[in-house]
Structure 1
Amino acid sequence: MAAQHAGPRLVVYTRTTDYRHESIPAGIAAVRSLGAAHGFTVHATEDPGFFDAPVGPYAAVVFLSTSGDVLTPAGREHLAAYVEAGGGFVGVHAAACTEYDWPYYGELLGARFARHPEYQKGRVVVEDHDHPATRHLPGTWNLTDEWYDFRAGPRNSVRVLLSADETSYEGGGMGQDHPLAWCHEQGRGRSFYTALGHADEAYDNPDFRTHLLGGITWASRL
């Protein structure tokens, strides 16, 4: 049994109680593929009971397009304790549409989803190249996604890595300061979030996969 769990392990949590993204299976498959290539294993679950016990020796917890209330009261306590003690947290896309009534989660993630325009092409601006999630990218990155708006910008409390150029698409609602991906320290742990990753196509995009891998390795200190 020990050989099955050699090396770092990640939890990929995908429970939804609100909108469910069809790309969740593609996202799980992408993280598993990245793990196979880079030396970590993945436990994927939608069972809230997983968090009803202490999280254990996992390098990071990934909330992959979760939505709505996805944790029990005990689960909230254990996730917070895990991060505060030094665990890694990664939020992907609809993770920002999760646990609206839990203040700690808003602090952990950095911002909460408000709305998005239609799925369309747009332009990402790389604000910080000195991070494993962004150092492979050019200064601007053209792709298609949902371009999330947030209830409030997170810039004052996080390190912004990517932002949206709202002049490149229709329907943006945040103006000139529109962060899309960021990271920050949380207690003794680390939190990374990317708003990208709406559709299956994202998880086949080599640049997005490297972006996601960089967030995972930074948060988990791999």
Structure 2
Amino acid sequence: MTRRLLTLLLCLATLLPCIARAQDQFKVLVVAIPNRYHHDYTVVAKPQFERMAQRHGVDLTWSWNSAPFDGDLSPYAAIVLLNTPGDELKAAQRANFETYVRKGGGVVAAHRALIFNPPGEWPWFERLIGRTFRIHPMVQTATVRVEDASFPATFGLPARWIWTDEWYEFNAPVTRGLRTVLSVDETTYDPTRIWPGQTAKGMGAHHPVAWYHRYDGGRVFVTALGHTPALYDDPLYLEHLYGGIWWAATGKGIDAAR
């Protein structure tokens, strides 16, 4: 009897890795390429994303470079550009990424991913993001407002949220149909507080910092939040990110009619 039980346990141990992998809901690729202004965040972000994937049953692939864009992207339900702008991709990689989105792939763009340099070189990517970057003042504490409580990236957030970040300013939208998820209250920080020789003036009463839309066949969630490494230890920020990832990957969590 003991021998039979041992044999059964060994068989189960052999099957467990397969069972665990079968429970993964979907696959996500996180591309976090260190750059001049965003490099030390990765040390904090990577283990947090790994824990997030374990907690939610997601198959996570983490990449420090753009190599995955040379291969087959179709297994991924969503690609997260974590402080990784489109100018990191070469011409063939850009074409592969466009194909991925047109076939229904999801995209999450966080913070530095919103800035493409030089502007106008890849219009498709700028339309994917939906707005083009203008400038930002120094890091300051401000009040973030939830503008769309029906979107998954806000489910874990209070209606008003004290947050410290770089408050990106944007030009007029380059894509129609953007739905604002979060905005920042410019009366709670100084939009003009910037380095000598530069000028920032804010965006006024409507200053979006997170939005989503459907673009060229795919789903896109964009958040300007996430400058300093310590933010990746904040549970609210991680809930904000995962809500956006979940929607980009599955399309679930919002009214299908929207």
Deviation at 1:210, TM superposition (A): 0.6
Which AA in structure 1 matches 2:123? Answer: P
Deviation at 1:17, TM superposition (A): 5.5
Match of 1:63 among 64, 67, 81: 81
More displaced, 23-32 or 76-85? 23-32
Q: Do residues 119 (structure 1) and 142 (structure 2) align?
A: no
CA offsets 1:16-63 (integer angstroms, 9 cap, x no match)? 555334213322222221111000122111332321233131111000
More displaced, 172-181 or 13-22? 13-22
Match of 1:190 among 191, 194, 219: 219
Which AA in structure 2 matches 1:198? Answer: H
State TM-score, norm by structure 2. 0.79
**Aligned counterpart, 1:131:** 151
- Contact preservation (8 Å) 1:16, 1:70: no
SS at match of 1:207: helix
User: CA separation in 1, counterparts of 2:86 and 2:61?
Assistant: 21
User: CA separation in 1, counterparts of 2:211 and 2:187?
Assistant: 21
**Aligned counterpart, 2:243:** 214
User: CA separation in 1, counterparts of 2:130 and 2:156?
Assistant: 24
RMSD across aligned positions (CA): 2.1
State TM-score, norm by structure 1. 0.91
CA offsets 1:46-86 (integer angstroms, 9 cap, x no match)? 33232123313111100000147211111111111111111
Shift in CA distance, 62/119, structure 1 to aligned 2, threshold 3 Å: same
Structure 1 alignment gaps of length 5 or more: none
**Aligned counterpart, 2:106:** 88
Higher helix share: 2
- Give the greater-gyration-radius structure (CA): 2
The within-5 A match list for 1:2-17 is: 3=18, 6=22, 7=24, 8-16=26-34
Structure 2 alignment gaps of length 5 or more: 1-16, 192-200, 253-258
Deviation at 1:216, TM superposition (A): 0.3
Which AA in structure 2 matches 1:22? Answer: D
User: CA separation in 2, counterparts of 1:58 and 1:68?
Assistant: 18
User: CA separation in 2, counterparts of 1:66 and 1:205?
Assistant: 20
CA offsets 1:179-213 (integer angstroms, 9 cap, x no match)? 10000112332000110011122111111111111
Q: How many residues are matched?
A: 221
CA offsets 1:101-149 (integer angstroms, 9 cap, x no match)? 2111111111122211111100111110001111222221111111111
Q: Do residues 28 (structure 1) and 28 (structure 2) align?
A: no
User: CA separation in 2, counterparts of 1:153 and 1:162?
Assistant: 15
SS at match of 1:198: coil
User: CA separation in 2, counterparts of 1:154 and 1:164?
Assistant: 20
